Chains A and B, each alone.
Chain A
Amino acid sequence: MIKKQQHKLLGSLRFQYISLFLIFIIPTCFFGQELEIKGAVLDADSKQPIPGVNVFIKGTSKGTNSDFDGNYTINSNLGATIVFSYIGFKTQEVTIDKGQIDILLAEDASLLDEIVVVGYGTSSIKETTGAVANVKIDDIPNAATTSVDQMLQGRVSGLNLGMSSAQPGARVSANIRADISPRGGGEPLYVIDGVPMINDSPEPGLNDSDVGFGGGIDRSPLSTINPADIESVDVIKDASSTAIYGSAAANGVIFITTKKGKVGRTTVNYRATTSVQSPKDYVEYLGAQDFMGQHNRLSYDRFLFDNKYAPYGPQNAPSGGFTPLFSQDDFRNIGEGTDYLGGLIKTGYVQEHNLSVSGGNENTRIYSSFNYYNNESILRGGSFQRYTVRFNLIQKLGERFNLNIKTNLSQINSNNASSGEGSAASASEKLNMLQAAYAFAPTISPRDADGNFSRSYNTLIMNPLAFSAIDDKLRTNRFSITPKLDVKFTDDLSLTLVGSMDRTTSTRKFFIPSIAEHALLPDGMAQLATNRNDAYTGEAYFSYSKTFNKNSLSVVLGAGAYNTLLDGMSMQGIGFFTDALGFDNIGVADQLLRNSQNSFKRETIRLSQFGRINYTINGKYIFNGVVRRDGASNFSANNKWGVFPGLSAGWRISEEDFLKDTKVSQLKLRVGYGEVGNVVLADNALQLYVVNGEITFGNTIQPGVVLSQVANPDLTWETNASIDIGLDFGFFNDRISGSLEVYQKTATDLIDYDPLPSNNAVGRIVTNVGSTRAKGIDVALNTTNIRTENFEWNTNFTFSTSRSEWLERNPNVALANYINPRGQIGDVFGWETDGIIKSLEEVPNHMAGAFPGNIRYVDQNEDGVLDVDDVVKIGTWGARMNFGFGTDFRYKNFTLSAFAYGNSGAPREFGYNPDPRAISAPTPSNTLASVKDVWSSDNPNGILPGVATNPFSGNNPAEKARTDFMFKKTSFLRIKNINFGYDFSFSGASKLPFNKLRLFVDLQNVALFTDYDGYDPEFDATNPFPQAFTSTIGVDIQF
């Protein structure tokens, strides 16, 4: 036996040298009636020839390989069995009955579909004992989608995603099962190609002391990764599996695996899409006529109220005492006025081009891609442009070494349109673009007589159209490289060495010129900021696997070192004699005392050891144990190390004899228990003096330093233990399949602040105290309803519900008496309301001194006093249920898919009540159209509070002075996506240069069903970047 071994690098992407494949040249003795059998091996899908296929006669050592055109020749006897095998394809056996045998090899879908990533290795999903959900990204229409997390809502039961805006690339906050750490840090750990990712966005915010729209963007670090490069996402939900990530895994782990080259013919994929984004209706505000009418109506009531005339006092107003600001002539002359919001929200466009090359042989496999994504956003001035380049290489280096290098390079260039809640949204000069459009009087034309941006009656509000003069550029560069070397010592034992560097650098440049006429920055302001996130990872682990009879054992043992380094700097300059230089020469800013510079650096080092052992008996009984020991630099002096174990077991009932040959194709019961850690707030265990506060002496501003933290050297990990029981099932040959999981997770030693007495220098010390628990159910169900040759209909469904409660609270925190110590986490309390007080006579005794138009609070205990005893539970954060529903049809070459998701009962702080005092002021600001429902003396049926200040509102002892009036439920159902496509088919003999062509139409955000009357029930910010209905046409070509 001669073994030929060479490694060819990437001299040619076409892999002509497939003949260098392992070849067995068998000396054969010729006996009797041998026949020469010839044929071609083709890809069943593309009908393209497959070179290098292993062809051999079963039970002999006789074999050959197909040549470059897929042809083979072999000698054998009639009746013998010929076997075709090739990596990535299903092995086929054919009995020789003639001399010409052509064969179609189908891709081994089972092999691709059923492998899940479990951390330091993969597992067949059939043998998985943890709660793992696998999502194939290619199955999800992703037109006009910037990052993969935006594609997952509703796809995985128990994974709930929250959005704050529709800004391109905006962060999606993820939560796996219930978040039971009240001090937050509820985000899961993202592991990309085996390497933990820093989840902090490096994008610099702005110093918002002068402009309130400084924040506005919070982009997901995943937006730097091209979704089309992602093969699959595995969501690991239970601690018995995530324990192998120890202290980082309290909130679950999401594995993102990028594509790798496939052995076989080189394929080139090109996809191009064009999308049109039509804005969804924003919350309605008043037009010019209504604005004047509502001002006149409410300012009259304000006059009555200020002077305590009826209905606010006993006496009637004297006639002629009040002159409205807008006269009848004004109403006649104003016409339509200006629609400021309409001037800001427009149609947006997305262009995307994606080119990828994939191919390889036994020795070398590559996947490489280039992606260009350009979005001119629906908010004026906003844009998002991204380039990504990926190069993934798998290279065999000799028999024992296998090198795997994954490289990603991306750049985002965006121009930011201000949106979202500013830090001080109430100050008129700090309104963002959308808030300004609401507030600016529609009766005023955008430009004044001199051609400058006009001012509203309240001259502090920036002209909404002047926001287009702001230059707010952001550039983010990410470079990551993950080399991984596998060393195979024996067939059973190997060592994997992983190194990784992931660096993201983000620079923001902001300039507001003098022509924008910002009230506080008449001579302009510039800010420059750069942040850098670096993550360095080094890991080494041994993998051992061995099969004994019908039992198998696999063991992983390894160690890792992780360093994350975040640093950055920023500067601000105010007062520019010219607009011409923008942010490119910040040194000319002349208001020296308002200029500022800042820098910071944070570093964390974590060292770990980890192991896994898996033992399977007879393919039926599976036992799995994981453990990790973690040490972290940000942890307290006396507890640098923690140990986190996980144990699980599975019973593949369907492998038992009594279920053989039944309709039950798959049935597995699994049980797991694990403990993971949470290090939230760990940084706060040190005694620190921080720069805080300043004062001016003479002409110098001096910084102050205060003690900000006292040390807790005994702080230890918050432990999150969970029990998971799951049933995976499949019936009728898996035409109906899914899983049902119930879980309970308990957090103990919660990391929280112990309050220190109010007279101490420092108000709190971080400590371990308290305990919480969540219980929940996750359901996933996939069905193939119809499957014929021409028609196929599949549906999938996810559902999850959970409930989390306090087991033990911090005894040192005095609980208000309305709080149930064992209540749900996220219970929200406030006064209940009961409509509007409509006259002085209606003023209830417990609200003596209130006025008509005030909201009526309920005196729960009827003691005649509104106080803390009247505070009741008015809701609980989070949805009661989350669900997703997808369906897809294929008829011949047509495909149609649709996906919807929603939730039930998630409440929101309601930010869409009109402001009757703003519109009734002597210098009126515009407000929401629902101001028409505001109660006033001439609108006695109004349902919203009037102009009279409520003397009781400030005395509300509930947190944030909440009432049920300001807190609304947001149950909704969103039809997220409809995709329609047609696949042209080409036979192997086609003269066209490509072998696949798909045309498709994709619709995103098709419809929303909800009773919520704010803007979008999914957005947890008020005045968010607007949502669009996106329609896309695209073409997908494979060469």
Chain B
Amino acid sequence: MKFTIKNNLVKITLFVFLIVCTSCEDALESKVYSDLTPENFFQTEKDFNAALVALYSSFSIDWGGKDSGTDIYYTYLYNANNRSYLMRSELTTDELYNDWDPDILNFTWGPATFSGTGASAYSRIRYVARATDIIDKIEKSSVNDLVRNRYLAEAKTLRAWLMYILYDFFGPVNAKVDPATLSDTDILPRWSDAEYTAVIEQDLLDAISIDELPEAYNGTGDWGRVSKGLSRTLLLKLYMHKKEWVKAEAIGKDIVNSGSYELLPNYEDVFTNSGNKELIYAIVSNDAVPNWFMQHLFPGNYATGLAGSTTIERGGGWYGYSMPWEYFDKFENGDSRTNTIITEFTSGGGVIVNRDNDLRGAIPLKYTGIEGQGSGPDYAIDWVIFRYSDVLLSVAEAINEQRGPVDAYTFVNQVRARAGVAPWSGLTQDAFRDAILDERGRELFCEGHRRQDLIRHGKFIEKAVERGATSASDKNILFPIPTDVFLEGQDIIEQNPGY
């Protein structure tokens, strides 16, 4: 064999440096296979839907998820976790007791308590920016007007809802609503109250004015999407919060007059039948994202008990939440709403457990339609967020605040009649005010309204102190800005007073 060094050396050298130099830069292009990039996203109608779904996901009743923009796991807003927006709205009040979280129980929270991964509610401020981005992109997009306008209305309503939730817990914050500022890294101060709520109000008014947004989705395959009913209800919530009674009465009556909603004859059915006519918005649950609230209620040794006349057989649960007996005692005799509450059960060992025998509080099951007898998550029951009776009671309250109860009875008595209790009449304005707070407590227990109601009526702190939370003071009406946000803002982002 003749080996010519020269020839082969040249060839091999060439080969080596070919490895190095051929299309180097092409080979080194970034490889992205399982994610999307600006080149292939935000192109089609379905892309916009996927972006909207991400906004909706904050309202999932699943436990939570890692925000891929921070890599921090946050609890979603509406689920059974004791630190979710929903549960904090209940556990800080007299309607629900839980001793796992002494900070919430004793009102001893501080800026560090709900910081980092605990900043579940505050973290939604990033979704306001995401909503702003989506609104901007939809406005600039060329998808057909029907879809475009409907998506625009949905995105604006979701942004307003997120902003309202932040407002409810923290007061006005520095949420980003101007697309031009989205990638700025300057720390912005918090909005003034008026500026901030004006944005929420305008978003909702815009959404309501968009013809392509349907009045309601009840009973359709799009149940769970934003409808005009939800946009109006959020506006009602905002006006009630701000005690703008005139506007509250008007928007509430718009909902009533829309004809989309009605009271069901039977209270239990409201929480059993998906998409029923009393619901304005519910978070859709299924086997994949069960409604874990009930698992929190059942004691570990639960076997069988009665909710009204319905037998509820279950394996044990976590026994996290219970309704204090003092609260249960607010119900009048014969109030059919107590048919959704279990007050006595038989344990697996055959022992009767009730108020006199170790049962810490009532079991405010609410959702009596649960199927199956295991301990499993077969709680595929939609989580009710807003419903018509809340609107009726709000209108009644707004009327009473403006001009006394005379015009208000017709609204409140519809609700009382359905519960099978006597109608009201002849109350003074003050008496009506106190009575309607209690009525809301009985009608809407464990639906996440109690905290706002008590704050609006100026009784949030007073009630906490009564329960033994001696640390409670006016500062606790708002939650603190989380430590990490406050640190970031140094002197720019003001902490809520008292923290």
Contacts and interface: CB of A to CB of B under 8 A. Distances in A.
Interface of A: 398, 400, 428-429, 455, 457-460, 487, 489-490, 495, 497, 519-522, 538, 540-542, 558-561, 574, 591-594, 599-605, 607, 609, 631-635, 637, 640, 686-710, 755-764, 814, 816, 849, 867-868, 921-923, 949-957, 959
A849 B468 CA distance: 11
A640 B20 CA distance: 14
In this complex, which of B19, B41, B55, B183 has the most chain A Cβ atoms within 10 angstroms of its Cβ?
B19
A701 B300 contact: no
B133 interface: yes
A849 B471 contact: yes
A763 B67 contact: yes
B356 interface: no
Contacts of B27: 561, 605, 607, 633
A814 B112 contact: no
Contacts of A700: 221
Given A428-B318, A495-B16, A698-B220, 8 more contacts: A460-B318, A695-B57, A697-B223, A704-B56, A759-B129, A759-B174, A814-B484, A923-B301
A490 B5 CA distance: 8
B483 interface: yes
A591 B418 CA distance: 37
Contact of B37 (A490, A686, A921, A957): A686
In this complex, which of B112, B187, B317 has the most chain A Cβ atoms within 10 angstroms of its Cβ?
B112
25 contacts: A400-B3, A429-B375, A455-B348, A460-B375, A520-B376, A522-B375, A559-B19, A561-B19, A601-B33, A604-B31, A633-B28, A692-B68, A693-B65, A694-B62, A695-B53, A696-B284, A702-B49, A703-B50, A707-B130, A708-B69, A758-B485, A761-B182, A849-B106, A867-B110, A955-B113
B487 interface: yes
B375 A520 contact: yes
Contact of B288 (A593, A599, A631, A849): A593
Contacts of A756: 185
A588 to B, nearest CB: 16
Contacts of A602: 31, 33-34
A633 B27 CA distance: 7
Given A634-B30, A698-B284, A710-B183, A949 B56 contact: no
Nearest to B107: A951
Interface stretch (B95-103, B208-216, B338-346): B95-103
A328 B317 CA distance: 29
A709 B70 CA distance: 9
B229 interface: no
B488 A696 contact: no
Given A688-B37, A952-B108, A954-B101, A814 B487 contact: yes
Contacts of B185: 756-757, 760
Interface string B364-389: 00000000001111000000000000
B72 A759 contact: no
B36 interface: yes
Given A559-B19, A697-B225, A954 B375 contact: no
B138 to A, nearest CB: 14
In this complex, which of A600, A637, A923 has the most chain B Cβ atoms within 10 angstroms of its Cβ?
A923
A923 B5 CA distance: 85
Contacts of A599: 34
Contacts of A709: 68-69
B69 A701 contact: no
A560 B9 contact: no
Contacts of A954: 101-103, 108-109, 113
Given A495-B12, A519-B374, A922-B300, A694 B108 contact: no
A591 B380 CA distance: 12
Contacts of A487: 8, 12
Nearest to B300: A923
A574 B286 CA distance: 14
Interface residues of B, dominant DSSP: loop
A693 B58 contact: yes
Nearest to B40: A689
Contacts of A956: 112
Nearest to A427: B318
A763 B70 contact: yes
Contacts of A429: 375
A706 B68 contact: yes
Contacts of A455: 315, 348
Given A640-B25, A686-B32, A759-B128, A705 B47 contact: yes
A688 B316 contact: no
B175 A759 contact: yes
Contact of B374 (A495, A522, A574, A604): A522
Contacts of B440: none
Interface in B107-132: 108-113, 115-116, 122, 125-130
Interface string B462-499: 00000000110000000000011101111000000000
Given A519-B374, A707-B133, A814-B490, A460 B316 contact: yes
A923 B358 CA distance: 12
A701 B288 contact: yes
Give chain B's interface residue range (CB within 8 Å of chain A): 35 or more
A695 B32 contact: no
B329 interface: no
Given A602-B34, A954-B109, A955-B110, A760 B182 contact: yes
A923 B225 contact: no
Given A705-B53, A759-B188, A696 B28 contact: no
B233 interface: no
Nearest to A538: B19
Contacts of B182: 760-761
B31 A605 contact: yes
A922 B358 contact: yes
B299 interface: yes
Contacts of A495: 9, 12, 16
B104 to A, nearest CB: 8
Given A459-B316, A593-B286, A759-B129, A704 B5 contact: no
B1 interface: yes
B405 interface: no
B176 interface: yes
Contact of B31 (A489, A522, A542, A634): A634
B436 interface: no
B54 A704 contact: yes
Top 5 closest A-B pairs, CB basis? A693-B57, A704-B54, A923-B300, A763-B70, A708-B68
B56 to A, nearest CB: 4
B373 to A, nearest CB: 9
A690 B66 CA distance: 12
A762 B72 CA distance: 11
A884 B260 CA distance: 78
Contacts of B58: 693
Contacts of B186: 757
Contacts of A710: 183
B108 A951 contact: yes
A460 B221 contact: no
Contacts of A950: 102
Contact of A868 (B53, B108, B112): B112
Given A708-B68, A757-B488, A687 B37 contact: yes
Contacts of B99: 949
Nearest to B105: A949
A760 B176 contact: yes
B424 interface: no
A522 B287 CA distance: 13
B19 A603 contact: no
A93 to B, nearest CB: 36
Contact of A689 (B36, B106, B127, B348): B36
A1030 to B, nearest CB: 39
Contacts of B184: 757, 760
Contacts of B5: 489-490
Given A757-B185, A763-B70, A457 B17 contact: no
B38 A687 contact: yes
